[in-house]
Chain A
Amino acid sequence: MKKGTLQVKIGLAEMLKGGVIMDVTNPEQAKIAENAGAVAVMALERIPADIRKDGGIARMSNPGMIKEIQKCVSIPVMAKCRIGHFAEAQILESLEVDFIDESEVLTPADEYNHIWKHEFKVPFVCGARNLGEALRRIGEGAAMIRTKGEPGSGNIVEAVRHMRTLVNDMKKLTTLDDHQLMAEAKNLGAPFDLIKQIAGDGKLPVPNFSAGGIATPADASLMMQLGAESVFVGSGIFKSEDPETRAKSIVDATTYFDDPDKLAIASEKLGTAMKGLEMSEIPADQRMQERGW
């Protein structure tokens, strides 16, 4: 019997496809998410929009709060650790969270190194803005990639930019011949063996999800049509007027992402979406997507 193999880690990511992973900050929200049809919840103390507002250092959540959420839902429970903070990751593994998000939403602990994820039994998801970043994380052992987008912004523009960049980078690789691949590996700053693999397959070796700005059913559909295989919704649900209805609608929009009639129904009677931020309102040094490399 082998535990914690890459196949077992990626296996769980595969089972989360076509679903919505929702940020929750307490057991009540976790129940609402589960009842709405979330495939997993992300347990964190403050959602990204509030982290942005409150300032200060954002750290791993209190284990007591994670345990309470684990007790009240049967779907997988994920939690975030700071970039490079492998001690937080060790604690989350000991709590038996189902997935760790090494996340730019929290304040980075190491500006040079991300966590060496291969030595953990629990799978990791990491954010990326382009193929090079995605492949560096996969090289370190990530079992799932998600676009970074701009967390807590309620603005889909950055998630779109990142997904389009990632997909275009992969398309380009499939057009290159063997003579050109090493140069492209240098260009992207990515491990050569993964570059070669993608030149052949045209897709990532792990599931590719989207996060960072999804606030409406239409946003979820857009990301799925652009190539995401599932979506994370952070502030978009519990910062809206009617979280329960919005949560259900985003679940429907993810399953029926290519059916405009179903999407129209899912988009009705939702109450007000989170207000959101125009990118120019977020100073460059406060953009979470710039954290990590």
Chain B
Amino acid sequence: MIIGILALQGGFHLHQLSLESLQIKSELIRYPKQLDHCDALIIPGGESTTLMKQIMKNNFFDSLIEFANKKSIMGTCAGMIISSCRSSDKLNRSLSVIDIEVDRNSWGRQVHSFEAEVNLNFDNDNPFNATFIRAPKVSRMGHGVESFAEYGDSAVLLSDGRHLMASFHPEIGDDNRIHKLFMGMIK
């Protein structure tokens, strides 16, 4: 099994390390044709504006949508914004691979970024130390989308059964439970 990590910009290297800690093979993706031999894809955090521009410019848009119809995508932070149906950012198109809407930078600028313990619904005994960096908030969850963790009144980890989205950065720190959850979703 090979997990692709979209490497156009952002925190792709940390996802590589998380997968390595689970002994899972990964490949950095910079060309659409590389998607053909991937079993699933991670769209990392980064700057969603930059990432989306590179997706459009390098012919990833249709390939990613096609990929998402058959295979699983994990989107973290900017990766979640890009995968959502609509974001508060009107400049940007998004992939609409999961039926959620998000507000960008919803907790504020970097001085309001934070780490916090969140409870994982699938592993209640140990909270996850989640890092939120200029993080988005989910403003609407469509039919069939389930929350796996909440912070305050927001769902911060959610899935429609195929794709997994996090508004925080599960790749920061050495707790790989969320990557493990994603591995379990890959068919």
Known: A18-B12, A74-B105. A37 touches B50 (CB 8 A): yes
Known: A11-B169, A74-B89. A122 touches B49 (CB 8 A): no
- The answer, yes or no, to whether A284 is at the interface (CB within 8 Å) is no
Contact indicator A19/B50 (Cβ below 8 Å): yes
- The answer, yes or no, to whether A49 is at the interface (CB within 8 Å) is no
Interfacial chain A residues near B78, Cβ < 8 Å: 15
- The answer, yes or no, to whether B11 is at the interface (CB within 8 Å) is yes
The contact size tier of chain B is: 35 or more
Known: A2-B115, A12-B134, A17-B10. A39 touches B47 (CB 8 A): yes
- The answer, yes or no, to whether A169 is at the interface (CB within 8 Å) is no
Contact indicator A37/B169 (Cβ below 8 Å): no
Q: Which of A3, A18, A251 contacts B113 (CB 8 A)?
A: A3
Contact indicator A8/B115 (Cβ below 8 Å): yes
Contact indicator A122/B9 (Cβ below 8 Å): no
Q: Is the interface of B mostly helix, strand, loop or mixed?
A: loop
- The answer, yes or no, to whether B38 is at the interface (CB within 8 Å) is no
Contact indicator B114/A3 (Cβ below 8 Å): yes
Interfacial chain B residues near A39, Cβ < 8 Å: 9, 46-47, 50
Known: A34-B49, A75-B47. A15 touches B10 (CB 8 A): yes
Q: How far is the CA of A278 from the CA of B47 in the complex (A)?
A: 35
Contact indicator A7/B9 (Cβ below 8 Å): no
Interfacial chain B residues near A122, Cβ < 8 Å: 110-111
Taking CB atoms and an 8 Å cut-off, the chain A residues in 190-249 that contact chain B are: none
Contact with B along A32-54 (1 / 0, CB 8 A): 00100111100000000000000
Q: Which of B47, B89, B109, B113 contacts A11 (CB 8 A)?
A: B113
CB distance from A232 to the nearest CB of B (A): 15
Q: Which of A18, A97, A259 contacts B46 (CB 8 A)?
A: A18
Interfacial chain A residues near B50, Cβ < 8 Å: 19, 37-39, 75, 251
Q: How far is the CA of A96 from the CA of B134 in the complex (A)?
A: 12
The contact size tier of chain A is: 35 or more
Interfacial chain B residues near A5, Cβ < 8 Å: 115
Contact with A along B98-113 (1 / 0, CB 8 A): 0000001100111111
- The answer, yes or no, to whether B70 is at the interface (CB within 8 Å) is no
- The answer, yes or no, to whether B25 is at the interface (CB within 8 Å) is no
- The answer, yes or no, to whether B13 is at the interface (CB within 8 Å) is yes
Contact indicator B13/A8 (Cβ below 8 Å): no
Interfacial chain B residues near A99, Cβ < 8 Å: 110
CB distance from A43 to the nearest CB of B (A): 13
Q: Which of B46, B104, B114, B133 contacts A74 (CB 8 A)?
A: B104
- The answer, yes or no, to whether B2 is at the interface (CB within 8 Å) is no
Q: How far is the CA of A122 from the CA of B105 in the complex (A)?
A: 16
CB distance from A263 to the nearest CB of B (A): 13
Contact indicator A98/B110 (Cβ below 8 Å): yes
Q: How far is the CA of A256 from the CA of B104 in the complex (A)?
A: 27
- The answer, yes or no, to whether A271 is at the interface (CB within 8 Å) is no
Q: How far is the CA of A2 from the CA of B113 in the complex (A)?
A: 9
Q: How far is the CA of A2 from the CA of B129 in the complex (A)?
A: 10
Known: A12-B133, A15-B77, A17-B9. A74 touches B49 (CB 8 A): yes
Interfacial chain A residues near B115, Cβ < 8 Å: 1-2, 5, 7-8
Taking CB atoms and an 8 Å cut-off, the chain B residues in 145-181 that contact chain A are: 169, 172-173
Q: Please, could you name 24 A-B residue pairs with CB atoms under 8 Å apart, sorted by A?
A: A2-B114, A2-B115, A7-B172, A8-B131, A12-B133, A14-B172, A15-B46, A15-B133, A16-B46, A16-B47, A17-B46, A34-B49, A74-B49, A74-B105, A75-B50, A76-B109, A93-B111, A96-B111, A98-B110, A99-B110, A121-B111, A123-B110, A251-B54, A255-B30
What are the 10 tightest A-B residue pairs by CB atom distance, in nearest-first order?
A: A98-B110, A18-B9, A37-B53, A39-B47, A96-B109, A11-B133, A1-B116, A14-B11, A3-B114, A37-B50
